[in-house]
Chain A
Amino acid sequence: MRHDLVLRVIAKLMMPFTLLFALYVQFHGDFGPGGGFQAGVIAAAMVILYALIYGLDQARKALPDWLVETMLAGGVLLYAGVGMAGLMLGGNFLDYFVLHADPVQGQHRGIFWVEAGVAVTVSGVMLKIFYMFAGRGRDPE
């Protein structure tokens, strides 16, 4: 789709808003519907849109495979790390109460980082799946 000017311009215009929406869903997840899972999918959808319009190779240049793999592993590690932090601070595994002097604040802090981990992993996984399926048949095995 190298010459479809309308598509290329509109896609580029939409991207920052998609990302902003993802961040809104991510951070508003504390107060309303939303959270890391949804935000991760929306953020990944942005990259997938980019890949559809500008081609898979361009998307892979922007977000290379190693970065995607790091994302999907790093998010899980962040999640587990929050769990271990609770353990280190004297609580049980995944204990958010001990993450802050005030237990309610602790819950807030815990879920914040956990959701961040979820978002990173989910967008990593979605992109990995997309890259794998879309790249099938082009990659030299």
Chain B
Amino acid sequence: MSLALHLPALQVVIPLISAPLAVLVRRGGWAFLIVTAASWAALAAAIALWLATADGATISYALGNWPPPWGIEYRVDRLSSFVLLLVSATAAIVLPYARASIEREIPHAQHYLFYAMFALCLTGLLGIAITGDAFNAFVFLEISSLSGYVLIALGRDRRALVAAYQYLIMGSIGATFFVIGVGLLYLMTGTLNLADMAERIGAIRESRSVLAALAFLTVGISLKLALFPLHQWLPNAYTYAPSVVTAFLAATATKVSIYLLIRFYYSVFGESFVFQKLPLPEIMLVMSIAAMFVASLVAAFQNDLKRLLAYSSVSQIGYITLGLSYDTVNGLTASLVHMFNHAVTKGGLFLFVGCAVAVAGGSSLARLSGLARVMPLTSFGIVLGGLSLIGVPGTCGFIGKWYLILAALEKGQWGLAMAVVTSSLLAVAYVWRFVETAYFREPHASLAGRKEAPPALLAPALLLAGAMLYFGLETSVSLGSAAGAAVMLMAVGK
């Protein structure tokens, strides 16, 4: 038995097995150890897969030894290994933070269930990225979503329940639309294997059923990735979820949905069909621009830091889909690299906000006034993340925006390049609101006598802050993978 051959299966199975083990031990501490070890093992597997596919190779793994297209196939290429790396690295960094964080936010008796749910959510997200089977993707989508709803509902505020319920309704509608789209494709092609589907779809692309399938898939996945008018679930869910859950979901859940959308557009329907024959790029362009401006504006008027950052997430997703709508290699590269960098930024930011919440007891801006004097490191981290959201050179947020502007200029679209720059100025506005409260106001009464957050919380957050700087300066991992994946997708999609 050679372990390396089975990495695609182990990637998903290890976190999956850790979930029931966490339930069996029934102790928070042991569950924490099991799930953390599993997430680290998953990270190791993801790194190995990423290295193995770095030269453009594709790994195919037949589950149950049923050869594709009959059996379920796990398929790892440059794009999926990139997403696997992103998801498992986020989990591996966030889990050590979780221990100290949920100590303060979740009743002790529920800790082992929290870890089990976290492991299931991780399993689902990794599964979406690795599977080469359309229906399997739906199942993993629902595994990650259902466990995500539970994780959100664990928030202390009673509004967490309503937020989770609303997310459940919207998310289930999205998943149902997704499965309707898959069903129509299955009826038309007779296969569920994505690669096989791509081959068979060629002749019948123009048929109305396939167009309907494309529409259902687009709307369904857009609900899950919170594309602008479909983002209603996101602000409440991110605001009221426990800090660590917000950080993990903000960094991974929407990103994996974007991956799924890209996978269907480029690897199944084909780039030339989706982007050149249909008015999809125009629609996506309008949505993206609206997201960039409206969501940023709304963010600037929020009185709660978590909610402010949630709206900022909606606007950042706008940048990612904007890159998609360009339909060029540079545009796609911009999308993918921004997806990665935004995950690093938002993950780090929400971890720092979690530190602030742990000390200040809430995330409303009023409560956080004067934070910099009490918690200099946390405030600095939030400002650094804010700079990355704006896209200041030297931070990782810059890279994606730079490529977005490059791609816009390449197409001769000066207006779009200006739009990216202008909406970044709106980001300055909402980041400034935090800077103003934290640095130029007297400390809030509840901060009196408080100190910086404990190292257990600060260390993972600082690690991600370092990553924000690292990926802003040294881009071979992020940009290299994104560009490689973009070239591969554009070549396949023709």
Interface residues of chain A, those whose CB is within 8 Å of chain B, are 66, 69-70, 72-74, 76-77, 80, 83-84, 86-88, 90-98
Best-surrounded residue of B17, B23, B64 (most CB of chain A within 10 A): B64
Task: Please give me the residue from chain B that is nearest to A94 by CB atom.
Answer: B64
* Closest-CB distance, B76 to chain A (whole angstroms): 14
- Given the complex, which residues of B lie within 8 Å of A70, measured CB to CB? 24
| A92-B6 in contact (CB<8A) | yes
Q: How far is the CB of A92 from chain B (nearest CB, A)?
A: 5
Question: Which of B1, B19, B26, B64 has a CB less than 8 Å from the CB of A90?
Answer: B1
Contact B1 A77 (CB under 8 A): no
Across chains A and B, which 6 residue pairs bring their CB atoms closest together, nearest first? Answer: A73-B20, A93-B9, A73-B23, A94-B64, A95-B65, A76-B20
Contacts A80-B20, A83-B13 known; 16 new A-B pairs at CB < 8 A: A76-B16, A77-B21, A77-B24, A80-B16, A84-B13, A92-B9, A92-B63, A92-B64, A92-B65, A93-B9, A93-B10, A93-B61, A93-B63, A94-B64, A95-B65, A96-B64
Binding site for A on B (CB under 8 A): 1, 6, 9-10, 13, 16-17, 19-21, 23-24, 26, 61-65
Majority secondary structure, A binding face: helix
A84 to B26, CA, bound (A): 23
User: Looking at the complex, which one of B19, B23, B64 makes contact with A93 (CB distance below 8 Å)?
Assistant: B64
Residues of B within 8 A of A98 (CB): 65
Asked whether B9 lies within 8 Å of A87 as measured between CB atoms, the reply is yes
Contact A80 B23 (CB under 8 A): no
Chain A residue contacts of B64, Cβ below 8 A: 86, 92-96
Shortest C-beta distance, B108 to chain A (Å), equals: 13
Show 29 residue pairs from A and B whose CB-CB distance is below 8 angstroms, ordered by the A residue. A69-B23, A72-B20, A72-B23, A73-B19, A73-B20, A76-B19, A77-B20, A77-B21, A77-B24, A80-B17, A80-B20, A83-B9, A83-B13, A86-B64, A87-B9, A88-B1, A90-B1, A92-B6, A92-B9, A92-B61, A92-B62, A92-B63, A92-B64, A93-B9, A93-B63, A93-B64, A94-B63, A96-B64, A98-B65
Residues B9 and A74 in contact, CB atoms below 8 Å apart = no
Chain B residues near A69 (CB-CB < 8 A): 23-24, 26
B26/A91 in contact, CB under 8 A:
no
Hey, which chain A residues are within 8 Å of B1, CB to CB?
Answer: 87-88, 90
What is the CB-to-nearest-CB distance from A113 to chain B, in angstroms, rounded to a whole number?
Answer: 14
> CB < 8 Å: which of A73, A84, A92, A96 contacts B21?
A73
The answer for the CA separation of A96 and B62 in the assembled complex, in Å, is: 13
Distance between Cα atoms of A96 and B20 in the complex (Å): 22
Query: Could you tell me the distance between the alpha carbons of A74 and B19 in the complex, rounded to whole angstroms?
Result: 11
Q: Which residues of B contact A86 (CB under 8 A)?
A: 64-65
Bound CA span A76–B143, Å:
14
- B19 contacts across to A, CB distance below 8 A: 73, 76
The answer to whether A87 and B24 touch (CB under 8 A), given A76-B19, A92-B65, A96-B64, is: no
Give the residues in chain A near B62, CB-CB below 8 Å: 92
The CA of A106 and the CA of B340, in the complex, are separated in Å by: 43
Contacts of A84 in B (CB 8 A): 13
Find chain B residues with CB under 8 A from A74 CB: 20, 24
Residue of B17, B26, B61 touching A66 (CB-CB under 8 A): B26
What residues of chain B lie closer than 8 Å to A88, measured between beta carbons? 1
Q: Is the CB of B24 within 8 A of A73?
A: yes
Chain B residues with CB under 8 A of A80: 13, 16-17, 20
> CB-CB < 8 A to A95: which residues of B?
64-65
Cα A84 to Cα B3 in complex, Å, equals 12
Contact B16 A97 (CB under 8 A): no
Q: For residue B13, which residues in chain A have a CB less than 8 angstroms away from its CB?
A: 80, 83-84, 93
Chain A residues contacting B24 (CB-CB under 8 Å) are: 69-70, 73-74, 77
Cα A77 to Cα B116 in complex, Å, equals: 13
